[in-house]
Amino acid sequence: MSIEVKNLTYWYDAGTPYSKKAVDDVSFTVEKGEFIGLIGHTGSGKSTLIQHLNGLIRPTSGTVLYNGTDIFAKETDLRQIRQKVGLVFQYPEHQLFEMTVRKDVEFGPRNLHLPQEEIDRRVEQALHVVGLPESVWEKSPFELSGGQKRRAAIAGVLAMEPEYLILDEPTAGLDPKGRDEILSQIESLRDTLGLAVILVSHSMEDVARYVDRLIVMAEGQKRYDDTPREVFTHVFDLISIGLGIPQITELNERLKEHGFQLPKTILTVEEMRDALIEGGQIHA
Amino acid sequence: MLRDITIGQYYPSGSIIHKLDPRVKIVSTLVFIVLLFLVKTFIGFALAILFLGSVVRLSKVPLKFILRGLKAIMFLLMFTVILNMLMTKGEVWLRLWIFTITKQGVYQALFIGLRLVLLIIGSSLMTLTTTPIELTDGIERLMRPLKKLHVPVHDIAMMMSIALRFIPILLEETDKIMKAQMARGADFESGRLIQRAKAMIPILVPLFLSAFRRAGELATAMEARCYRGDSGRTRMKELKYKKRDYIAYLVLILFAALLIATRHLPDIPAIIRSLMS
Ligand SMILES: Nc1ncnc2c1ncn2[C@@H]1O[C@H](COP(=O)(O)OP(=O)(O)OP(=O)(O)O)[C@@H](O)[C@H]1O
Ligand SMILES: [Mg+2]
């Protein structure tokens, strides 16, 4: 069970003076249950790349295999792929349209022509997962706050019950608490349902905390594909392509410059705490 | 699918035609269109094709790009040509089943077809070589005399330029919303008419909301920068005629004079006929 991206290249407006290569010969494989972070400077092709994974964009060259079958082949039913590979766009709240939150979340499952009880089950579960209280389910989505709208929109994709979940900057513009809530819910979905998650993000802290594997894009190409710990050792290169490293990792690097050597690359505040305590015991 | 719409699309190539004052291009296009309806002879059409061909050549816009605009009206074009061919009365040339084709009909059809093609190419050439902003600047400047009659020229031009600016933005937005709903299993291709119309709701509601949101944001941004309409407003780029613009006007006048002159020349068929007799 996997999604395999093979030598994918995509040109916007091919054949016009505006043509632009947005994705350049990218290959990688996503296995079920993986939690992958996708980072890159603005305009590096992240959004373009992920729209290929459920067949919304047809590659200029290269292909995408879902469990070994080419999703762009004539006989593939793309709608089935789109159910299995859920995609949450940047600012998904701009796509809400129904009279009530509940009806909007129903849109996906209804398109799958499921029986009503199944639709209800999925909708309620999805709304619980994103943490929307029952009191707002029958409200108009346009009455909600920005963060609640975002949750409703994410629930709309979760209700399709995908096996792969791709989120394009799901936490942009949310407060730290909302961000942590959504990301830890997604993490627990991965843990309980075995969902594979691809998280597009500009926050180094978020990817360092949640993902097991980090893909770095630069100018449409794949630059790194490794564990966050490994990727964040390339400090200078990351900075040169317009990215950074988590603040706590940077603090660790600065400490190193002044002769405080901690045993490894630090990714989170908790790791730093533990490392310091351990280090302290050694010195005591 | 939305990308095939070329109307109003700009093709940057930095040619001399691109550099002309937008007023020259607007006036020339209007004059060209009027002239097209005055042409009655083959020589006249040859002249018009030659003129437009040279301008296309000078503009450095690939022919492929220009012809793309014709694709959209292919059906209309065919329909007009065939209808004209069949419906015009006159000297019978050919009889097929219930159809009769007359000599006058063939001429008529040919002329109308040519006229339409030249008209479309001529006007799309204007938008291909002029940015929407330049275009509205030109229109505003050309309409300035109307201000004395209390026509709100500036506001009309501003509304036009905003509308033009919003077309690509809204197309992009539509594309994005369609994709997002397709990701939730929406189907815009199959089903009966009513179902298809219903399938548009998930696109139209977010699209309208986004258009209103953008309009509101734009209004706020304009007010924040003290936009107060026309009074006391100066421009960064004043339109000024240069030498090349006067030359262009001269060429246009020459072309117009020649074209009108062809109306008084005997046409080729007439010449041939007089030679044969
Ligand atoms: N609809 C489009 N038409 C033409 N070019 C586009 C379009 N969408 C994106 N591009 C171009 O493709 C490149 C990659 O864009 P993309 O949106 O994939 O970047 P991104 O990594 O998602 O950036 P961000 O972090 O800002 O969301 C950019 O240079 C962009 O200008
Ligand atoms: Mg993006």
Per-residue exposure over B30-41, b if at least 16 CB sit within 10 Å of its own CB, e if not: ebbeebbeebeb
User: What does the pLDDT read at residue B269?
Assistant: 67
Predicted confidence (pLDDT) per residue in A109-152, tens digit: 999 999 999 999 999 999 998 889 999 999 999 999 888 999 99
Per DSSP bridges, beta strands A164-168 and A196-200 are parallel
Q: How near does any CA of chain B get to the CA of A94, in Å?
A: 6
Predicted confidence (pLDDT) per residue in B124-147, tens digit: 899 889 888 888 889 888 998 998
In this prediction, residues A16-42 reach a mean pLDDT of 91
- In the three-class reduction of DSSP (H, G, I as helix; E, B as strand; rest coil), residue B213 is classed as helix
**Which of these, A228, A198, A205, A217, lies nearest to A36 by C-alpha position?**
A198
Residues on chain B touching A160 (C-beta within 8 angstroms): 184-185
Give the tokens for residue A274.
Answer: 């533990």
**Which of these, B207, B205, B143, B156, lies nearest to B2 by C-alpha position?**
B207
Pair A254, A234 in one domain: no
Q: Which ligand places an atom closest to the C-alpha of A41?
A: 1
Return the DSSP state at B146: G
Residues in CB range of B238: below 8 A, 6 or more apart = none
Decide if pLDDT at A179 tops 90.
no
Q: In this structure, is residue A103 part of a structural domain?
A: no
How many angstroms separate the CA atoms of A86 and A77, rounded?
15
Pair A239, A284 in one domain: no
Residue A18 alpha carbon, nearest atom of ligand 1? 4
User: What does the pLDDT read at residue A115?
Assistant: 94
Per DSSP bridges, beta strands A35-40 and A196-200 are parallel
Closest Cβ opposite residue B184 in set A16, A51, A111: A111
Decide if pLDDT at A79 tops 50.
yes
A10 interfaces chain B, CB cutoff of 8 Å: no
User: What does the pLDDT read at residue B157?
Assistant: 86
In this prediction, residues B118-126 reach a mean pLDDT of 90
* C-beta separation of A234 from A226 below 8 A: no
Q: In this structure, is residue A214 part of a structural domain?
A: yes
B177–A111 CB contact, under 8 Å: no
Overall domain count for chain A: 2
Percentage of the residues of chain A whose pLDDT score is greater than 70: 98
- Please give the distance of CA A49 from its chain centroid, rounded to a whole number: 12
Residues 31-70 of A with CB under 8 A from B: 51, 54, 56
- Confidence at A3, pLDDT banded by 50, 70, 90: very high
- Separation of CA A39 and ligand 2 centre (Å): 10
ipTM above 0.95, yes or no: no
Q: In this structure, is residue A95 part of a structural domain?
A: no
B184–A160 CB contact, under 8 Å: yes
Decide if pLDDT at A283 tops 60.
no
The CATH number covering residue A205 comes to: 3.40.50.300
Average pLDDT, rounded, for chain A: 89
Per DSSP bridges, beta strands A85-88 and A164-168 are parallel
B202–A157 CB contact, under 8 Å: no
- Separation of CA B236 and ligand 2 centre (Å): 34
Residues 205-234 of B with CB under 8 A from A: 205-206, 209-210
Mutate to test the interface with B, among A79, A96, A97 (most CBs of B within 10 A): A97
Percentage of the residues of chain B whose pLDDT score is greater than 70: 95
Question: What is the model's pTM?
Answer: 0.78
Q: What number of other Cβ atoms are within 10 A of residue A183's Cβ? A: 23
- Separation of CA A48 and ligand 2 centre (Å): 7
What does each C-alpha distance from A277 to A68, A229, A266 come to in angstroms? Answer: 48, 20, 13
Pair A7, A67 in one domain: yes
User: What does the pLDDT read at residue B65?
Assistant: 81
User: What does the pLDDT read at residue B2?
Assistant: 47
Pair A3, A63 in one domain: yes
Pair A58, A33 in one domain: yes
Pair A193, A220 in one domain: yes
Give the tokens for residue A61.
Answer: 């060259």
* C-beta separation of A183 from A171 below 8 A: yes
User: What does the pLDDT read at residue B267?
Assistant: 67
Pair A171, A69 in one domain: yes
Q: In this structure, is residue A16 part of a structural domain?
A: yes
Residues 17-76 of B with CB under 8 A from A: 65
* C-beta separation of A96 from B206 below 8 A: yes
Q: In this structure, is residue A140 part of a structural domain?
A: no
Return the DSSP state at A94: G
User: What does the pLDDT read at residue B59?
Assistant: 92
- Separation of CA A20 and ligand 1 centre (Å): 9
Residues on chain B touching A111 (C-beta within 8 angstroms): 184-187
Number of C-alpha atoms within 13 angstroms, CB side, residue B207?
Answer: 20
* C-beta separation of B42 from B48 below 8 A: no
Structural domain for A280, as ranges: 246-284
B185–A96 CB contact, under 8 Å: no
Decide if pLDDT at B3 tops 50.
no
Decide if pLDDT at B5 tops 70.
no
Predicted confidence (pLDDT) per residue in B11-36, tens digit: 888 899 999 999 999 999 999 999 99
- Confidence at B8, pLDDT banded by 50, 70, 90: low
Pair A168, A281 in one domain: no
Pair A170, A206 in one domain: yes
How many angstroms separate the CA atoms of B160 and B139, rounded?
10
A157 interfaces chain B, CB cutoff of 8 Å: yes
Tell me which amino acid residue A142 is.
Answer: F
Predicted confidence (pLDDT) per residue in A215-273, tens digit: 999 999 999 999 998 898 888 888 888 888 888 888 888 888 887 777 777 888 888 88
Decide if pLDDT at A55 tops 50.
yes
Residue A45 alpha carbon, nearest atom of ligand 1? 18
Q: Which ligand places an atom closest to the C-alpha of A12?
A: 1
Q: Which residue has the tokens 């190193």?
A: A256
Give the tokens for residue B171.
Answer: 């197309």
How many angstroms separate the CA atoms of B111 and A123, rounded?
63
Pocket of ligand 1 (CB under 6 A): A 12-13, 20, 22, 40, 42-48; B 172
Q: How near does any CA of chain B get to the CA of A15, in Å?
A: 10
Chains A, B: CB contacts within 8 A come to 56
Q: What are the φ/ψ torsions at residue A275 (nearest 5 degrees)? A: -65, -40
User: Scanning every residue of chain A, which has its alpha carbon at the shortest distance from the alpha carbon of B184?
Assistant: A108
Give the tokens for residue B53.
Answer: 């061909």
Among B151-165, B177-191, B239-253, top mean pLDDT goes to B239-253
- In the three-class reduction of DSSP (H, G, I as helix; E, B as strand; rest coil), residue A215 is classed as strand
Pair A172, A220 in one domain: yes
Predicted confidence (pLDDT) per residue in B52-100, tens digit: 999 999 999 888 888 877 877 888 888 888 888 887 777 777 777 777 7
Q: Which residue has the tokens 């986004």?
A: B210
Q: Which ligand places an atom closest to the C-alpha of A217?
A: 1
Among A69-78, A272-281, B223-232, top mean pLDDT goes to A69-78
Pair A71, A167 in one domain: yes
Tell me which amino acid residue A205 is.
Answer: E
Predicted confidence (pLDDT) per residue in B189-246, tens digit: 777 778 888 888 999 999 999 999 999 999 999 999 988 887 778 888 788 899 999 9
Decide if pLDDT at B4 tops 70.
no
How many angstroms separate the CA atoms of A83 and A66, rounded?
12
Sign, CA torsion B14/B20/B23/B28: negative
Average pLDDT, rounded, for chain B: 85
Predicted confidence (pLDDT) per residue in A21-31, tens digit: 999 999 999 99
> What dihedral angle (degrees, nearest 10) is formed by the CA atoms of B124, B130, B135, B138?
-120
User: What does the pLDDT read at residue B6?
Assistant: 46
User: What does the pLDDT read at residue A31?
Assistant: 93
Pair A170, A236 in one domain: yes
Q: How near does any CA of chain B get to the CA of A102, in Å?
A: 15
Q: Which residue has the tokens 């060209």?
A: B32
A170 interfaces chain B, CB cutoff of 8 Å: no
Strand partners, A21: A11
Cα maximum dimension of chain A: 69
Alpha helical stretches, state H, chain A: 46-53, 78-84, 101-111, 116-129, 146-158, 176-193, 204-210, 228-231, 235-240, 247-257, 269-283
- In the three-class reduction of DSSP (H, G, I as helix; E, B as strand; rest coil), residue A201 is classed as coil
A89 interfaces chain B, CB cutoff of 8 Å: yes
